[in-house]
Structures are given as C-alpha cells and as structure tokens.
Structure 1
Amino acid sequence: MGKVALVGKITHVPSMYLSEIDGPRKGTRQDAIDGHKEIARRCKELGVDTIVVFDTHWLVNATYHLNCAEHWQGTYTSNELPHFISNMGYAIPGNPALGQLLAKVANEHGVEILAHHATTLQPEYGTLVPMRYMNADQHFKAVSVSALCTSHYLNDSARLGWAMRKAVEDHYDGTVAFLASGSLSHRFAQNGLAPEFAFKVWSPFLQHLDDEVVRMWKAGEWNDFCEMLPEYAAKGHGEGFMHDTAMMLGVLGWSEYTGQAEIVTPYFGASGTGQINALFPVLPVSGAAIPQPVASRADGFSTVATRL
C-alpha cells in the first residue's frame, strides 16, 4: 500500500544553528545545512508526506519509544550544549496515525515499543535540528523514534527498522522517509579543547575508522559492515551506541541490502566527532537477513549484536 521512498544517515550538529547567527561561526556549517535542504527537496520530489527520525538524542532506559504527537511547538535550549543551541523556535506537524501503526507492527514483530500520541513530550535536537532545515515550511509531518538506547540490543533495533518498513509498505496509505540522525564516530573533544577541534575529528584512529566505513558504504559492503557494527559502535564511540544506524539498516534489509551510499554532504569533523549526510537507495529485499528477537539473557550477547 505505502512506500518507503528515501532512507538516509544525517548529521544534526548544533553548530548548524550557530552557523545562522552573526559571529565567528556564521556560515561555517552551510554545507551541512545545504545537504539537509537537498534531502528535503528530494523528499518533496518523491511525494514524501512524513519523515520518521531515529533520534540519537532521545535517551531511553527501557522499551523503545515513539513520539507521534499531533503537533510540536515551542522554544528549545539544549541542556547538553546551551551555548550552541539557545532559544531556538520550532513548529512541526506530527502524524499520530502513522506512529501508532509503526508501533503496532513492531510489537507484532517481537520488538516492544510504545507510541505516545497524547503527550506533552517534545522532540530532542536530533529531530529538531534536521526539521529546522528540511521542514521550515512544515510541508512534512514527522515522527520521532528513540535511538539513544542504553539497555537494548542492536539486532532488536535492526528488527525495529524492518518492522517499520513493513508497516508502511503493507498498511500505510502514503509515502515515508526514514532518517538516522546521528554521527559516525562520536568522541567529543576533551573539555578545554573544543575550539581547537571545532572542525576536526578527535584522533587519527577514529578518522581512519570512519573513512573506511564511508568507503564500505559507497562500495555496498553491507554484510561486512553489519558484522562489524557492534565493535564499531563501541570502539568508535558511536552516538546513541549506533542504534539509529541499526534501525536504518533494518529499513534497508540489513546484510541482505546491496545498495551503495550517495554522499550528499561529504564527511566532516565537528567538535571531535565525525559527521555526514548520506542517502541509500531503497531496494526490494525479502528481509530474510533480519535478526530474530533476542530473548532475555544475562550475558547481554547475541550472535548478531551485543548490548553495549
């Protein structure tokens, strides 16, 4: 019935907001902002009505959660980086019907998730920053999904992504984009060194690690990448433990996927972290490679991924 038209891995660095403001950082993240605007242009061209964001700034300690309120509006200041994002206004239409459908099908696939449609819960900046540049005209509805998951398995996150794709394709009357909002390596510069690393990655190791991952994405080496994802998330200081990336790969078909990444905004360093805007063609897949739900185990390990 419905269609998944676009899938991407996107940056949400708060310096994008600083880039708008008069001062020494003005204009310095225009490439990332332009990347978001290009993704929005393509979404409009493809007829997307709703953007689902896997948000690595939404921390949850139990269950997966989904914010599908009717509308969000307010003024946001980051508790993490209030000197980067302060008093940023936002207004975003939601999609309660789609959110509840996504949760229903995910639960049927063995991944416990709760949809919150009648809620005062507001999005985190992993959703707010992309929507600022992709959805200033409120053309799209949005749904935000928790992806900073402290007690969750990466393979359950992959299964969640696949279930959401099935929900759209089998039951939704509309067109959806899925965006994994998070960095590659995510080792912030040590306190006192942030200005020095404003446009750099923290270490040569992390730079090389990210460069190899981008190469793998462009070459379509997904079987190898899915196998290395748990270790990459740990050793690369993955943002949100890279649950957004696992969810995204679930939407695409996990290790069965054969597409190649298109780089919209080339890889860049920001406060020590590695960032990118990349898109992945949505291809037909059977879902045969999607991992099964993980039963409760005290050791926290599975054959596909590990609890981080």
Structure 2
Amino acid sequence: MGSIVGAAIVSHHPGLMQCEEFRVLQGAGADSDLIPGYARLRAKLAEARPDVVVIFDSHWFTTGYHLVDGASRYQGNYISDEMPWYLHGVPYNYRGHPGLALEIEAVSRELGGYNRVINHPELGRQYATINLVKHLRLEHSDTPVVTVSSCQNCDWMHFVKSGEAIGEAVRRSNLRVALLASGALSHKFNPIDWKPNHPRIFHESNVSRPENIASDKGAIELLQQGRHGTVLDRWQDEYRKLPWEAFGAHYLQMVGAMGGADCRARGETLSAYENARGTGNVHMWFDMQEVAA
C-alpha cells in the first residue's frame, strides 16, 4: 500500500531562478529567504524518502481535464514565454513515472476527478515545475517527478476532487509519494510602474494590498494549526475572491489528496512570508508521517 509521506506549498517565483548577485541587488542587500528555504525543504524530503514527487503546477493551464504528465523522461532547455529576457537556456533532464500517472487516470475514471494522462516527452515545461526540480535537486537524486496541471474551467471543489483521485491512486500503489503545491498565496501583481513600499524588494510590505497580506497571514496561521477544513470553508468568500495563484488549484489538489476537509496535517513554515512583484509567497511543509502516527 502506498502513502503520502509529506507535502508542501512551495514558491516558484521567477526571481528565485536569477543569479545571487541580481537577487541581492533587487533585495537592497538582502537575499530572499525562500532560497535557504529550499535547502530546508530538501532536508524534509530527504527525511521523508519519497519514491516519487508529484508537483501541482499552477502555471500549466489546461482546458477540459486536469492533465498528468506520463512520459518516462523529460529533457530539454527551458525558455520562458513570459520572461524570456532572463529565463532562458535552463537545461533540465529528469525522470517521470508513467506507472503512477496511469494509475491516477484509472482511479479518476472510476471515482471522478477528470484527471487524464498525456504521454509526450516533448511536452513543454513550465517554470513552476522546472524551478522546483532545480532548487530541490531532483535531477541529481534521480527522483521521478509527475506534474499535474491546473484545469482552468473548474471551480474550487473540482480541484479538491482531482486531488482525491490522486490520493486514492497513491494509496493503491506501493509508492512513497511527496506532494508539492507549486505556487503563491495571494496573486495580484503590482503595476508596471509600481514603486516599492520598502527598499528590500522581497519584504512583505511590498505585497500588493494590505488586505492580501492580512488574508495570507491568516491562512498561514490556519495551516500551521492543521485547520484545512476551515480554509476550505472560507474558500469561496475569501481566498477565491482575492485570489490565490491559479485560484488556489495547487493547494486544493494537494489538500484533496491529503484528505480534504478532514486533513489535520500541521504546516511548518520553512521560509519567511515574502513579496514577489506583489504576490504573497511562502514555503510550508506538512508532515504526513506525523499525522499517520
């Protein structure tokens, strides 16, 4: 029987893919705490010893289905169509896990969830996946990665249903799986002519609006307490309206796999809460082995 051995909300913002000198310059002499936060997350993953990492990619937008990449390997050079002037020429070469992908589709066809496999090794990658593969050194550890898309014609409960099927597929496997929700919390960008409120560009006061900061911090507190049911209860009236990145698809699919409203996994913050061009970002780890104990 398989199990989810850990899960995390993980920031992927593109500034983290820039060289250290540029980040420090942008940060008025202080680098982003999300960078050492990746090292903290690597330590958590090493302790959890997953056979496969599933990434819920808030940049891979699809229509009609939540797609699950099912090729055995992905290899190429990444260039961003969003920011090609500095996100280009990033080589990647990592394993997929066709077996788990196919099991996810089979369970989804049985139970619902609209998850379907796409098996094409030349399928384009998104930096919400590539950034995590690089910073978490999944290529070096040769850990298989399965990426799941965010289907754009869905409401929030459809993402939870997608995650439920994924969680059941994991349980029917013999795999130890870690789940990574790759994306931000509140996701309103500052305008192009924005002037920072604080000289440290990553500082939380540079998040787009005070109400977004307050809501993000409230959500972080609830997640630290393991109150996922309360987060879901507030979704439509608060977190959907702000909204979170990809309308929260990455978190909703992850928590669906973890048990949905019944999940009690407590979050441990692995980074400071930070700004990224107005969006609210944090790394947070959920120890599922602690829940099982």
Compute the TM-score of the two structures, normalised by the length of structure 2: 0.89
Equivalent residues of 1:202, 1:272 under 8 A apart: yes
Give, in whole Å, the separation in 2 of the partners of 1:31 and 1:278. 13
Give how far 1:17 is off. Answer: 0.9
Give, in whole Å, the separation in 2 of the partners of 1:211 and 1:115. 36
For structure 1, which segment, 212-221 or 268-277, has the greater mean C-alpha deviation from structure 2 after superposition? 212-221
User: Given the alignment of the two structures, is residue 180 of structure 1 paired with residue 181 of structure 2, yes or no?
Assistant: yes
Identify if the C-alpha distance between structure 1 residues 49 and 16 changes in structure 2 by more than 3 Å, giving closer, same or farther.
Answer: same
* 2:269 aligned residue: 263
Give, in whole Å, the separation in 1 of the partners of 2:119 and 2:21. 34
* 1:297 aligned residue: none
Give, in whole Å, the separation in 1 of the partners of 2:86 and 2:213. 24
1:169 to 168, 171, 192: 171
Sequence identity (%)? 25
User: Quick one: which amino acid aligns to residue 159 of structure 1?
Assistant: K
Identify if the C-alpha distance between structure 1 residues 44 and 139 changes in structure 2 by more than 3 Å, giving closer, same or farther.
Answer: farther
Q: Which has the higher helix share?
A: 2
2:220 to 189, 214, 222: 214
* 2:83 aligned residue: 81
User: Quick one: which amino acid aligns to residue 236 of structure 1?
Assistant: L
User: Quick one: which amino acid aligns to residue 13 of structure 2?
Assistant: V
Map 1:85-96 to 2 at 5 A. Answer: 85-96=87-98
Cα displacement string for residues 223-275 of structure 1 (whole angstroms, at most 9, x for unaligned residues): 22111113334322221111111111112211112232111112111110000
Give how far 1:103 is off. Answer: 1.6
The alignment partner of 2:208 has SS state of: coil
**RMSD of aligned residue pairs (Cα, Å):** 2.2
The alignment partner of 1:240 has SS state of: helix
* 2:128 aligned residue: 126
Identify if the C-alpha distance between structure 1 residues 196 and 67 changes in structure 2 by more than 3 Å, giving closer, same or farther.
Answer: farther
User: Quick one: which amino acid aligns to residue 222 of structure 2?
Assistant: M
Equivalent residues of 1:6, 1:176 under 8 A apart: yes
Give how far 1:82 is off. Answer: 2.4
Give how far 1:195 is off. Answer: 6.5
Give how far 1:53 is off. Answer: 0.3
Give, in whole Å, the separation in 1 of the partners of 2:192 and 2:249. 26
| Matched positions, count | 283
Equivalent residues of 1:19, 1:29 under 8 A apart: no
* 1:145 aligned residue: 148
* 1:189 aligned residue: 190
Give how far 1:122 is off. Answer: 2.5
* 2:113 aligned residue: 111
Which 5+ residue runs of structure 1 have no aligned equivalent? 286-308
Give, in whole Å, the separation in 2 of the partners of 1:59 and 1:157. 13
For structure 1, which segment, 209-218 or 48-57, has the greater mean C-alpha deviation from structure 2 after superposition? 209-218
* 1:39 aligned residue: 41
